[in-house]
Amino acid sequence: MALIVQKYGGTSLGSTERIIAVAEKVMATRAQGHNVVVVVSAMSGETNRLVALAKSVAESPKAREFDVLLATGEQVTISLLSMALSARKCPARSYTGAQVHILTDSAHTKARILEIDDQRIYADLVQGIVVVVAGFQGIDTEGNITTLGRGGSDTTAVALAAALKADECQIYTDVDGVYTTDPRVVSQARRLEKICFEEMLEMASLGSKVLQIRAVEFASKYNVPIRVLSSFKEGPGTLIAPEDETMEKALISGIAFNRDEAKLTLLGVPDKPGIAYHILGQIADANIEVDMIIQNIGADGTTDFTFTVHHNDYKKALDILHDIAKELGVREVQGDVSIVKISLVGVGMRSHAGIASTMFKALADEGINIQMISTSEIKISVVVHEKYLELGVRALHAAFNLDKAAI
Amino acid sequence: MALIVQKYGGTSLGSTERIIAVAEKVMATRAQGHNVVVVVSAMSGETNRLVALAKSVAESPKAREFDVLLATGEQVTISLLSMALSARKCPARSYTGAQVHILTDSAHTKARILEIDDQRIYADLVQGIVVVVAGFQGIDTEGNITTLGRGGSDTTAVALAAALKADECQIYTDVDGVYTTDPRVVSQARRLEKICFEEMLEMASLGSKVLQIRAVEFASKYNVPIRVLSSFKEGPGTLIAPEDETMEKALISGIAFNRDEAKLTLLGVPDKPGIAYHILGQIADANIEVDMIIQNIGADGTTDFTFTVHHNDYKKALDILHDIAKELGVREVQGDVSIVKISLVGVGMRSHAGIASTMFKALADEGINIQMISTSEIKISVVVHEKYLELGVRALHAAFNLDKAAI
C-alpha cells in the first residue's frame, strides 16, 4: 500500500466521458490498495473560453480578477470527478486550492506555492476517501485567489506529493512517457524507462514539452519521484527520479531541439571590459530572455558577440542592438531567425570523453554546418540552419544508438 | 451619500455586453456619491450548463459536489464584472461567498445564512472600492462550499444589506416592479409604488415570481427596504418596506394566482379525532407540501377532506390517498388537476368588512363556481376551474379598481 498523487491534464478531462474514464483509472489504483490524491486541470478548451470572456469585458483584465475567473475551471473538474467517483461507490471529496490552504505568494497569474495544509487531506485518506484537489490555484495570505501560470497543475501535484511524502507522483498526459527525442521527427525514438531530474530539466527546457519545468525543479528539490503516463494507453510510462546506480548506463538519454529561437550577432565590437553587460543589460531591461551566449575575440582587437532569444522577442532585440551598435561603434549587426538548436542530454557525458567529437562528426558527415556551440555538464547544444533539423536529429539519434536501450 | 446593495440576476448578466451595461449602472450609482455593494447571479444559461455536466457524470450527483460545481457560476460573474469596472477606472474587488465568510448551515443545495463578515467589505468601501459579491453561495463551519437554492442571490443581497445596515437593497430583474396582477392576464395591471413585506410575501408565495420568498422574509425580519427595478428600463420600481402610514390606502394591493396546484378530496371519511393528522402525516412523510386544507362535517357522521398540492406531487399523493381510503373505509377518493387558485392580497382588508362578499359577487356575476375558499388576515383565496383564470382575475381587478392608484 502506497500513497499515490495522480495528476490529470485538460485533454484527459476534455469531456464528461473522459472524466468518467479518469474516475475508473483512479478506482483501479485504489483497488490495488493505495491511497490516492488526484490533482486535476480544467477541461481542455475551458481556459480559452474564460480568457475570451475576460477579453470581451476588459482589454487588459486585472490580474487579481483574472485569477478568480480562471480558478473556476478546475473547480468544475474537481466537482465533476468527485461526483463521478461517488456515483461509482468510491468515496471522494473535492477541494479547491483555498480549501486545502495551498498558500502562495501574491504574484497573480504566476504565483509560487509556499505551503500546503496536509492535515485535512490526511484526515480524509485515513477514512479511505479519494481526495480530489484543484490544480493550478492557491490563495495568498490575504485570502485572494491566485494561479500558478500555465502548466501549474503539474506543480500543484508535485508540491502535494512533497507535502504528503507520497511514494509517487503520477502525471497523466497525452503521451505515454519521455522519449529519446520527438517521435514525429525520428520514428525510432524510444520511450525511456527512467530519467534523472537533471536530464529531465534539460530535456524540458529544451523543448520536450511533457512536463512543466517548475514541477521538475520542485520534484528534484524534494526528491519526489514522478512518473509520466498516458491517460489513453496502458503502460509503465517514464520514471523521473534522483540519479542512482540502477539508472540506465547510457551516455546520452535524449536529443532535444528548439525551433523557437532566433540568433543575433554584433560583429566588430570594441573589446573593452563591461561590453557583455552593456549589451545584455539593455536586453534584460526590455524583459527579453536570452538563451545561448557566445563571445569570440577577433584578430583586430574587436570581438564578435552572439546570443539567441525567443522568436517573439527577435524584432525588439534587433532594434535595441541597432541603437547599441551606433553608440559603441560596432561594425555590423546581424540577425537570423532561420535557426534551430539541437541538444544532446545525458548525465553519462560527465564521465566520458569524446561525446562532443562524436556529435560533431555525425553532423559533419551529413554536411551540416554548426553555427554556435554551447556546453554544460550534462548537455551539448548546437545551433544549425533550420533546414537541417530533422536530418541532424536523426543522425545524432543513430550515432548514439538511442533506438536501443542500454544494458 | 448612502450605502446601496444592488443585486443583478442572470438575465441582466446574460452576455459580456450586458455585464458591461451593469458596470455602467453601478458606476452611475457610485457617481451619485453612494457606496455600492453588488451581488450577482450566474450568467443566464450557465447554471443549466453546469447541471447538465453533472448529470452526465452521475445520475444523482452528491449534494456537496453539486454545490462546488454550481458556485463556479457566480465566481465567473464576480470576476468579469470587477474586470469591467476596473477597466472603466472604477476600483472594484470581487469576493466569493467564502471570501467574505458568508457562513451557512451545512444543508447543501438549500443552505441558510447564519452570519456574514462585514469587516472586509467595510474596509474596501471606505477606500471607495465597489465590492462585488457572489450571490447564492456560502461556506459552512467546515469550510465546505454551500449554495442557498434557486433564487438564493436575492437572499444573499438582502442578508448583506442587513449585515451592512444598508440604506436600500435594490433587486434588478427583468420586470420593472411589482404589479397589481400579471400584466399578461390583465392589461390594465398597474405597477405599485410601494408594498409592505407581508403583502409581498403573500404575492410571492402565490405565484408572482418577482422575488424569492426567503429574501422577503429576511428583509422583513431585519427591516431592510427592498426596491425591485428593471435592468433594462429606467424607472423607480416598487419599494417593498415595512407597513407605514404613508402606504397607499388601498384595500387590496394585488391579485395573485397559481396554476400549479391540484386538488385531492376524500369523501365520507369516518369522523374521528386524529383523522387529519393520519392523512396529512403520511403526505408529509412522502415529502409532499400541502397548500390549502379544508374539512367539512357531513350529515351522516362522516367528513369530507380536501387539500391542494403541487402538480408534480399529484400522482404520488393520489396513490397514498387510495391506500389510506382502504385502511379507513373512506367512501371515495377524488382528484382534480384542472384547477387554479386566485387570491386577493391587501393589508387593508384587516380593517374593512365586506371584501369577501365583494369578491364572491364579482365571481358569481361572471358565472364562476367557487370550489374552495381559504382566508387569512390579509388574503382571501379561492379555487376555481382553470378555464376561469383570466375571466376571474380580470373581474376582480375591475371590481376593486386596481387599475387606479389609491389617493
Residue B245 has pLDDT above 80, yes or no: no
Lowest-confidence segment of A153-157, B65-69, B352-356 by average pLDDT: B352-356
CATH code for the domain in which residue B128 is found: 3.40.1160.10
Mutate to test the interface with B, among A8, A40, A69, A101 (most CBs of B within 10 A): A69
Q: What is the pLDDT of residue B127?
A: 95
Burial environment of residue B318 by CB neighbours within 10 A (0 to 12, 13 to 18, 19 or more)? middle
| Confidence bin at B352 (pLDDT 50/70/90) | confident
Of B57, B64, B80, the CB nearest to A84: B57
Of B151, B73, B110, which Cα lies nearest the Cα of A75?
A: B73
Distance, CA of B339 to CA of B337 (rounded, Å): 6
Handedness of CA B192, B195, B198, B200 (dihedral sign): positive
Mutate to test the interface with B, among A50, A65, A124 (most CBs of B within 10 A): A65
Which grid cell is A10? 485538460
User: Which single residue is written with the C-alpha cell 556551440?
Assistant: A373
Q: Do B79 and A68 touch (CB under 8 A)?
A: yes
The predicted-structure confidence for A270-311, as pLDDT tens digits, reads as follows 888 888 888 999 999 998 989 999 888 776 788 889 999 999
Segments forming the whole domain that contains residue A377: 244-407
For all residues of chain A together, what is the average pLDDT? 92
User: Which single residue is written with the C-alpha cell 376571474?
Assistant: B392
Which grid cell is B13? 448578466
The predicted-structure confidence for A33-84, as pLDDT tens digits, reads as follows 999 999 999 999 999 999 999 999 999 999 999 999 999 999 999 999 999 9
| Confidence bin at A247 (pLDDT 50/70/90) | low
CATH code for the domain in which residue A288 is found: 3.30.2130.10
Q: Are A281 and A323 in contact, with CB atoms under 8 Å apart? A: no
Task: Tell me which chain A residues have a C-beta less than 8 angstroms from the C-beta of B145.
Answer: 96, 99
Of B16, B98, B99, the CB nearest to A57: B16
Q: What is the pLDDT of residue A207?
A: 60
Q: What is the pLDDT of residue B78?
A: 98
Q: A-B interface: how many C-beta pairs under 8 angstroms?
A: 119
Q: Do B64 and A99 touch (CB under 8 A)?
A: no
Q: How many domains does chain B fold into?
A: 1
In a domain, B193, yes or no: no
| Confidence bin at A245 (pLDDT 50/70/90) | low
Residues on B contacting A at a C-beta cutoff of 8 Å? 16, 19-20, 23, 50, 53-54, 56-62, 64-66, 68-69, 71-72, 75-76, 78-84, 86-87, 93-94, 96, 98-99, 143-145
For the segment B27-55, the average pLDDT, to the nearest whole number, is 96
Residue A155 has pLDDT above 80, yes or no: yes
Q: Are A57 and B16 in contact, with CB atoms under 8 Å apart? A: yes
Residue B134 has pLDDT above 90, yes or no: yes
For the segment B227-237, the average pLDDT, to the nearest whole number, is 93
Of B19, B93, B143, the CB nearest to A99: B143
Task: Tell me which chain A residues have a C-beta less than 8 angstroms from the C-beta of B78.
Answer: 68
Of B16, B69, B75, the CB nearest to A68: B75
In a domain, B95, yes or no: yes
Task: Tell me which chain B residues have a C-beta less than 8 angstroms from the C-beta of A93.
Answer: 64
Closest chain B residue to A96, measured at CA: B68
Distance, CA of B311 to CA of B269 (rounded, Å): 24
Residue B31 has pLDDT above 90, yes or no: yes
Task: Tell me which chain B residues have a C-beta less than 8 angstroms from the C-beta of A71.
Answer: 75
Lowest-confidence segment of B30-39, B40-49, B178-187, B290-299 by average pLDDT: B290-299
Lowest-confidence segment of B101-110, B263-272, B335-344 by average pLDDT: B263-272
Q: Are A197 and A178 in contact, with CB atoms under 8 Å apart? A: no
CB within 8 Å of A94: residues ≥ 6 apart: A78, A79, A81, A82, A132, A133, A134, B64, B65, B68
Question: What is the pTM for the complete model shown?
Answer: 0.84
Q: What is the pLDDT of residue B123?
A: 95
Distance, CA of B307 to CA of B262 (rounded, Å): 8
Cα–Cα distance list, B189 to B63, B89, B248, B356 (Å): 41, 42, 16, 21
Q: What is the pLDDT of residue A126?
A: 95
The DSSP letter of residue B337 is -
Q: Do B83 and A96 touch (CB under 8 A)?
A: no
Mutate to test the interface with A, among B19, B56, B65 (most CBs of A within 10 A): B65
In a domain, A61, yes or no: yes
Q: What is the pLDDT of residue B7?
A: 98
For the segment B52-62, the average pLDDT, to the nearest whole number, is 96
Q: Do A143 and B99 touch (CB under 8 A)?
A: yes
Cα–Cα distance list, B366 to B212, B389, B394 (Å): 34, 12, 10
CB within 8 Å of B141: residues ≥ 6 apart: B103, B106
The predicted-structure confidence for B166-189, as pLDDT tens digits, reads as follows 999 999 988 899 999 998 899 999
Which grid cell is B333? 377518493
Task: Say if residue A252 is in the same domain as residue A170.
Answer: no
Of B65, B83, B144, the CB nearest to A65: B83
Q: B363 CA to chain A: closest CA distance, Å?
A: 53
Q: Are B164 and B227 in contact, with CB atoms under 8 Å apart? A: no
3-state secondary structure of B157: helix
Distance, CA of A265 to CA of A307 (rounded, Å): 7
Residue A132 has pLDDT above 60, yes or no: yes
In a domain, A29, yes or no: yes
Distance, CA of A185 to CA of A257 (rounded, Å): 10
In a domain, B345, yes or no: no
For all residues of chain B together, what is the average pLDDT? 92
In a domain, B111, yes or no: yes
Q: Do A16 and B145 touch (CB under 8 A)?
A: no
Handedness of CA A174, A180, A182, A186 (dihedral sign): negative
Task: Tell me which chain B residues have a C-beta less than 8 angstroms from the C-beta of A136.
Answer: none
Residue B151 has pLDDT above 90, yes or no: no
Residues on A contacting B at a C-beta cutoff of 8 Å? 16, 19-20, 23, 50, 53-54, 56-62, 64-66, 68-69, 71-72, 75-76, 78-84, 86-87, 93-94, 96, 98-99, 143-145
Q: What is the pLDDT of residue A248?
A: 52
Residue B98 has pLDDT above 60, yes or no: yes
Task: Tell me which chain A residues have a C-beta less than 8 angstroms from the C-beta of B59.
Answer: 87
Q: Do A80 and B16 touch (CB under 8 A)?
A: no
Neighbours of B262 (CB within 10 A): 21
For the segment A391-396, the average pLDDT, to the nearest whole number, is 96
Closest chain A residue to B61, measured at CA: A83
In a domain, B141, yes or no: yes
For the segment B76-92, the average pLDDT, to the nearest whole number, is 98
Q: Do A76 and B72 touch (CB under 8 A)?
A: yes
In a domain, A31, yes or no: yes
Task: Say if residue A275 is in the same domain as residue A382.
Answer: yes
Residue B146 has pLDDT above 80, yes or no: yes
| Confidence bin at A151 (pLDDT 50/70/90) | confident
Q: Are strands B145-147 and B168-173 parallel, antiparallel or unpaired?
A: unpaired
Task: Say if residue A127 is in the same domain as residue A273.
Answer: no
Task: Say if residue A255 is in the same domain as residue A170.
Answer: no
CB within 8 Å of A72: residues ≥ 6 apart: A50, B72, B75, B76
3-state secondary structure of A189: coil
Q: What is the pLDDT of residue B249?
A: 62
